[in-house]
A and B are shown apart, each in its own frame.
Chain A
Amino acid sequence: MVRPVHRGLVALAGTAMMIALAACGADSSTDDAGASDEPDLNAEVTITVSDLPPTEQAESRQAMLDKIADFEAAHPTITIDAQETKWAAETFNAMLAGGTLPIVTAVPFTEIQALASRGQATDLTDAVADSAAISALSPTVMESVTRDGRIYGVPYQAYTMGLVYNRGLFEEAGLDPDDPPQTWDDVRAAAKTITEQTGQPGFISMTASNTGGWVLSTMSYAFGGQMQEVSGDDVLASFAAPRTATTEALELLRAMRWEDESMGANFLLDIDDARNEFAAGRAGMFVHGADVYGDMVVNRGLPGEHYGVAPLPQSPDGIGTLGGGAIDIVSPNATPEQVAAAIKWIEYHRLGRLSDEEQAVTWAESRAADDLPVGTPELPIVDAAQYETYLGWIDSYINVPRDNYELYLSTVEDIPLVPEPPVKAQELYAALDPVVQAVLTREDADLAELLDQAERNVNDFIAAG
């Protein structure tokens, strides 16, 4: 029997539960922000924006604050509230649910399709329709932010996946750092030479936290295969047929690992581990986004002159490479007025430096003053002529040896940019991680069986919706 005092507690707990349930119900009934409504352009509006540089980067921080002041002067009805918030998968949903996600948030390319599919990024198609700056962006890059013909973000920085290599180790191994490998056979031979001559792994591959599948997908493109087949509305994973580009990519890894022993001993590497290994001079090459110079040199201590990047080698059937970069999205909680203000801010803040000399110079000057790299390899998001003009404006502030990336820079626009797998990309990458790990840790790994199992898992995920 429940004693009276216990009854009271039970009643209180029950009440608390009911209040909680009622609160949940109230949350659930929140209406979708009416992004498609016509905005009142004369209304006072405040927007929060992410990625205010921290106080350690004083010049860059001040440059952004000055830019905000200029923008607000030119747009008296708009107030910008800049925050140091940065994208993180672990905090994004909590901030979104709690209403603290900045109205404008920068996210990586890898996330945009999933965010769009979940309705967690505002559909900007109508809002950007009249924007000359956004219309001028490269169609290839814009494709990355497009889903079912609708635009969900504004790319402001892009790169392609390339072959990142250590020029120091190349020299030590007797290889010419100005003549990086251009075929996969070259990659294998160079990796073997580096290991033989320096004792360091010639080639490493990320394998954990979905990066194994991410890199394997990139290599599959380079060997001529897509990861999914799209037929109307139906999408199916398609990397396990009897012999596919994915199989070829894995065979290459297997040969380097078990025949040449040129991949070292550590085969559980996520993106941080791989960058650490590379920056510490313990990796000759790896497949990564070409934009990693800043992180390698500024954060991880790689000598700047050791950073090399080459285009991702393509087999004769290669269809291109995966792209990456940064995209500004607008929070789905934004009002139509905030969406309109956000687009103006993104045009000014992110794209202004590509079309306005003063902004370009201020941006480059402040970065150089903070010892941050200026002029790192990237995929131009505007047309070639405009990009050359922009490079001319910032030329005196360029502080990275662009000659070292000559091959990458001269071919970056020739290699087609292939988008991420259209459906459940992260799940696909997660399913392929164990496949890459198996190939690198078990000599007898059965590729066909592993790929078949992974493909079934991905298709189950797709079918489950």
Chain B
Amino acid sequence: MAMTARPDLPAEPGQRPRRRRRRSPVTWARSGGMASVVFLLPLLITFGFFSWLPVAKSLVLSMQRTNLVTAAEWVGLANFERVLADPLLWTAVWNTTWFTLLAVVVGFPVPVMLAVFIGELRKSRGLASALAYIPVILPPVVAVLLWKAYYNPGPDGLFNTVLGWFGLGPFPWLQDGTMAMPSIVVQATWAGFGGTTIIYLAALRSVRTDLYEAAEVDGASIWRRVWHITLPQLRGIMLIMLLLQLIGTFQVFTEPFIMTGGGPENRTTTILMLIYNYAFIAGDYGKATALSLMLAGVLSIVSAVYLFLTRTWSKT
């Protein structure tokens, strides 16, 4: 095959390697480089103003004590020390970790299984997808308030009424230190599985159909097809979804904030609720941003470790 020599290709054997010629700024501008900058500017300004500036501000704020009126006082790492000295921090860390574990164990397989199930349907696949997606359409606060009512601990609560028909309960749901967090996880899973299911369904479309046909010819059962074809083909997207779920669940706030207010006895107080309390109840923005940065740091490390450990698994 004929090849055309290009100046930036490696030199032929025997010749001295030629250094890549750098373009001067003028050449770069004349060849249309400014256009890319112009196109990039709105994005940079938007990101700069709404994303990077707040991040930079929170970095500064975490080392200040301020009432947002008078000149802020630089306190170095004192805010971080105060956060670490808060006895409620470790309760919140444990609660958040517990929520994340439960949410992953309960919430991760549900959309995968549902997507596979819907994918196997011959009829009404669209209807099934729409039904699965309905909880996502409800505004989160409305959904949480509804579930809060369903979890009414009295015998006349919705769940307790239904369970009462079978001679079970009434259960204290959110009122009991042991049951409260799993109850919240069930609601969060219900609220979130629809969106994830749709993503898995889209990913399923990329699975090669000839593999299924070959498996069918070989007499593979539906479970073997799912186990040996579908799941391996989905693992890339599953990896990403698991990571997103880990990050998302670590930042859980709305559900415990509305359903339990962190109770009973701080058993559902999460890290984000602590940040909220520092900022809006105590008006201590230094402490709130310090804890926010600590959380962001931990999540970054967790994400990096996760990606490192699973880097071979993600490659098909």
Contact = CB atoms under 8 A, between A and B. Distances in A.
Interface stretch (B168-176, B208-216, B224-232, B299-307): B168-176
B259 to A, nearest CB: 8
A294 B152 CA distance: 27
Interface in A233-269: 264-268
Contacts of B282: 114, 424, 426-427
A21 B54 CA distance: 10
Contacts of A93: 68, 279-280, 283, 285
Interface stretch (B124-132, B193-201, B262-270): B262-270
Interface string B32-73: 000000000000100010001100110011001011111110
Interface stretch (A78-86, A156-164, A393-401, A431-439): A431-439
B69 A333 contact: yes
A438 B170 CA distance: 20
A425 B66 CA distance: 19
A180 B280 CA distance: 38
Contact of B154 (A21, A265, A437): A265
Contact of B175 (A21, A118, A268): A268
Which size class do B's interface residues fall under? 35 or more
B48 A208 contact: no
A21 B56 contact: yes
Nearest to A269: B261
B44 A12 contact: yes
Interface string A6-49: 00000011001101110110011111110000000000000000
A333 B262 CA distance: 35
A362 to B, nearest CB: 36
A208 B263 CA distance: 7
B277 interface: yes
B28 to A, nearest CB: 9
A457 interface: yes
Contacts of B60: 21, 24
Interface in A309-363: 332-333
Interface string B278-308: 0111110100000000000000000000000
B251 interface: no
Contacts of A434: 263-266
B74 to A, nearest CB: 9
Nearest to B88: A457
Nearest to B258: A270
A33 B53 CA distance: 26
Contacts of B264: 267-268, 434, 437-438, 441
Contacts of B279: 93
B87 interface: yes
B263 A268 contact: yes
Contacts of A96: 68-69
Contacts of B175: 265-268, 441
A132 interface: no
Contacts of A332: 67, 69-70
B153 interface: yes
A114 B172 contact: no
A207 interface: yes
B85 interface: yes
Contacts of A333: 69
A376 interface: no
Contacts of A17: 52, 56
Given A16-B56, A266-B154, A267-B153, 8 more contacts: A20-B48, A20-B53, A23-B57, A28-B66, A93-B285, A268-B175, A430-B281, A457-B87
List the 6 closest A-B pairs by CB distance, nearest first. Answer: A208-B261, A20-B56, A97-B68, A16-B48, A265-B153, A434-B265
22 contacts: A17-B52, A17-B56, A20-B52, A23-B53, A24-B56, A24-B57, A28-B66, A32-B71, A93-B68, A93-B283, A114-B283, A118-B67, A119-B67, A120-B67, A120-B69, A265-B155, A426-B282, A430-B281, A433-B262, A437-B264, A441-B175, A460-B87
